[in-house]
Structure formats: structure tokens, C-alpha cells
């Protein structure tokens, strides 16, 4: 990195100070930074063996939630698993596959890893470890533990594994005036209320599993639905394609179809609440790794509504 690195870092630093001073009233919205609602955990495990369609494996919910042995429901569907991805290394390096899953699509409250470049993943792990990539998101702490304790070899093995996986269509984006009533349960995942009614969407994105039971079992065939405000897709497309006078065309750096370019990550078809968190985390200086400096001019003038529109549009693209 040397000179260029430190120049970029100091540019990022001054930018951060300026922005933070101007806008320290930002409250991270709960729809993008979900935290479990009190009393809405899963409760005690009843010991029943669970499975998912088409798999021979059976596991109790406690086994499914094991941070050092997450379920491999479809062993024939992925390349050989590195130790760190499937078992981690107790006590501090949890299996990457627990949260990012073995097919790399992850859940809205974590992150998609499938198809990210090896160099990008290694750099992000360095940024987490050095403290330059933080988040307004409290759940971030679980990731920090793995980033702080994983060895260089483990990080490279995980990065090589996930980089070879092809991202799949994982989110259906739907414009809607009203959405199911929801709550945030175990692991910070949002679910529809059983027998719940509908409520106005407002300025929010509501992302829930198509099937809550299967998602809680970490079934890699169980995708998500994201309800977004009416009009957000067209508004987001306009901003992403033209910059709309307040940002920069995303494809200049994120490539054709926003599927990634060299070590710049693909963003197409990824969780819209993940995308929104990153745009805000970068804008407010919490995510400030060396390469995040390239994003500063992109996010500086985005309103909260712009963030929602861009996140909705980007998530709706084919990954």
C-alpha cells in the first residue's frame, strides 16, 4: 500500500470528519440493522429432528445452530469444504458457513460471499481486524471475532472457496404499499408474524424469508422476499444508471450488470438491507477501509430515500 494507501486513508479521514460533523443525527433504522426483539427467540429446543426437502440429513435446532458444525444439507452441491468454512476453529473462529452458509448466499443480516474475489475478501478481513471497517450494526461483533482470530491461511482458504461459487437468484423484490407485520427473531432474522395483519411499508425495505422454518434451518434452497416502496425500482435505476446529478454511475466501478469488476465486489442481486447498511456505514464513516474511499463521492449526497431506492434496484438485478 505504502504512499498511495496513506494518502487515500487521510482523504477518507477528512471526509469522515466533515460528514460526521454535518449529520450526526443519523439513527440506524431497525429495518436495515435488525436486532432481535425481546422475548422473540426460539425458546428451548424440543429435541425434534428436523430436515429440509430433498436432504437425508437430520438435525435438532441446537445442532443446526452449532457455530462449529453448521448443517451441510446438500453435500453434493458444493466443492470440497475447507476446515474453516465448515468447522471453524474453537473457541473464537466460528465456521464461516454458519452465517454465510456453505453456498455463500448468506442471510440478510449477514452477507453474501459467493463470487467475491479472493483479494477483496482478504482486504475486508484486514479492514475488520485493523478496525477500519466497523459498522453502525451491533451484530458486526460476531464477524469481528472471526476476523480477529483467523490465520492468514484460514482466511485465504475461505476466500478461495467462496470466490469459486456462483451467486444464485436469492431475492425476489416486490414493490408494495403494504407489507406483512413482522418481528425480528433469533439470529436477528426478520419474519412475518404468524396470523399477522398488514401495515403500510412507509420508507422501509422489509426483507423476509419465503419460508421461515426452512430459513431458520439454514436451508440453502430457501430464498427471500424483499418488499420495497412503490416507485423505488425506477428511481433507483435512474440514480444507478445516470448518477442523477448527485452520485456516480455504479457500473463504472461495479462493472456490467453490477456483477463486479476485478476486485470490486458484485452488488447485483444481493440483500437490499445489506446494501443499505453498507451505503450508510460508508457514508457515516463506520466502514472506512482503504478502498471504501472510492465510495465516498458516491454516497456523500445520497438522501435516506436515495439509499432505499438504490438498494431496491440493485437487489432486483440478476446476480
Q: Does 292 bind ligand HEC (CB under 6 A)?
A: yes
- Least distance (Å) between residue 247 CB and ligand HEC: 5
Q: Does 116 bind ligand HEC (CB under 6 A)?
A: yes
- Least distance (Å) between residue 7 CB and ligand HEC: 16
Contacting range for ligand HEC; rule: CB under 6 A; set: 109-117, 199-207, 213-221, 226-234: 109-117
Nearer to ligand HEC among residue 199 and residue 294 (C-beta): 294
Q: Does 247 bind ligand HEC (CB under 6 A)?
A: yes
Instruction: Tell me, rounded to whole angstroms, the distance of Cα 90 from its chain centroid.
Output: 24
Residues with Cβ within 8 Å of 111's Cβ and at least 6 positions away in sequence, in order, are: 100, 271, 274
Nearer to ligand HEC among residue 179 and residue 268 (C-beta): 268
Look up cell 458457513; give the residue. Answer: 97
Q: Does 286 bind ligand HEC (CB under 6 A)?
A: no
Q: Does 124 bind ligand HEC (CB under 6 A)?
A: yes
Give the sign of the dihedral formed by CA 14, CA 19, CA 22, CA 23: negative
Give the sign of the dihedral formed by CA 150, CA 132, CA 277, CA 36: positive
CA distance 124 to 133: 7
Q: Does 310 bind ligand HEC (CB under 6 A)?
A: yes
**Distance, first Cα to last Cα, the chain:** 31
Look up cell 458444493; give the residue. Answer: 78
Burial of 162 (C-beta count, 10 Å sphere; 0-12/13-18/19+) = buried
Contact present, 165 and 57 (Cβ < 8 Å): no
Burial track 53-83 (b if 16+ CB lie within 10 A, e otherwise): eebeeebebeebbbbebbbbbbeeebeebbe
Q: Does 289 bind ligand HEC (CB under 6 A)?
A: yes
Q: Does 226 bind ligand HEC (CB under 6 A)?
A: no
Q: Does 114 bind ligand HEC (CB under 6 A)?
A: no
Q: Does 142 bind ligand HEC (CB under 6 A)?
A: yes
Among 52, 233, 268, 314, binds ligand HEC (CB under 6 A): 314
Q: How many residues does the chain have?
A: 319
Residues that bind ligand HEC (rule: CB under 6 A) add up to a total of 47
Among 223, 253, 300, 304, binds ligand HEC (CB under 6 A): 253
Q: Give the number of other CB atoms < 10 A from CB of residue 316.
A: 21
- Least distance (Å) between residue 56 CB and ligand HEC: 25
Query: Which residues of this chain interact with ligand HEC, rule CB under 6 A?
Result: 84, 93-94, 96, 98-100, 110-111, 116, 121, 124-125, 135, 137, 139-140, 142-143, 146, 150, 155, 158, 239-240, 247-248, 250, 252-254, 264-265, 267, 274-275, 277-279, 289, 291-292, 294-295, 298, 310, 314
Amino acid at each position: 500500500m505504502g504512499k498511495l494507501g496513506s494518502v487515500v486513508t487521510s482523504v477518507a479521514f477528512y471526509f469522515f470528519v466533515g460528514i460526521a460533523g454535518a449529520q450526526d443525527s443519523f439513527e440506524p433504522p431497525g429495518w436495515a440493522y435488525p436486532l432481535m426483539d425481546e422475548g422473540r427467540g426460539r425458546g428451548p429446543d424440543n429435541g425434534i429432528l428436523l430436515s429440509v426437502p430433498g436432504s437425508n440429513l437430520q438435525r435438532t435446532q441446537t445442532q443446526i445452530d452449532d457455530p462449529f458444525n453448521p448443517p451441510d444439507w446438500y453435500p453434493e452441491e458444493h466443492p470440497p469444504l475447507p476446515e474453516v468454512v465448515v468447522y471453524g476453529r474453537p473457541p473464537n473462529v466460528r465456521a464461516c458457513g454458519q452465517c454465510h452458509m456453505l453456498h455463500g448466499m448468506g442471510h440478510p443480516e449477514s452477507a453474501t460471499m459467493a463470487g467475491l474475489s479472493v483479494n477483496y475478501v482478504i482486504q475486508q478481513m484486514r479492514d475488520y481486524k485493523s478496525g477500519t471497517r466497523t459498522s453502525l450494526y451491533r451484530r458486526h461483533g460476531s464477524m469481528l471475532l472471526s476476523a480477529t482470530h483467523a490465520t492468514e491461511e484460514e482466511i485465504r482458504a475461505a476466500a478461495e472457496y467462496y470466490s469459486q461459487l456462483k451467486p444464485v437468484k436469492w431475492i425476489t423484490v416486490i414493490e408494495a404499499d403494504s407489507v406483512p407485520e413482522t418481528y425480528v427473531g433469533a439470529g436477528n432474522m426478520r419474519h412475518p408474524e404468524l396470523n399477522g395483519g398488514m401495515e403500510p411499508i412507509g420508507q422501509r425495505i422489509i426483507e423476509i424469508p419465503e419460508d421461515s422454518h426452512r430459513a431458520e434451518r439454514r436451508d440453502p434452497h430457501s430464498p427471500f422476499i424483499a418488499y420495497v416502496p412503490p416507485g423505488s425500482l425506477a428511481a433507483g435505476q435512474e440514480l444507478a444508471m445516470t448518477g442523477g446529478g448527485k452520485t456516480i454511475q455504479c457500473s463504472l466501478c461495479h462493472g456490467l450488470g453490477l456483477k463486479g469488476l476485478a476486485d470490486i465486489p458484485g452488488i447485483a442481486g444481493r440483500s437490499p438491507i445489506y446494501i443499505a447498511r453498507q451505503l450508510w456505514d460508508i457514508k457515516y464513516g463506520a466502514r472506512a477501509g482503504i478502498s471504501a474511499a472510492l465510495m465516498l463521492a458516491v454516497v456523500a449526497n445520497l438522501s435516506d430515500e436515495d439509499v432505499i431506492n438504490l438498494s431496491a434496484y440493485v437487489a432486483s438485478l440478476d446476480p
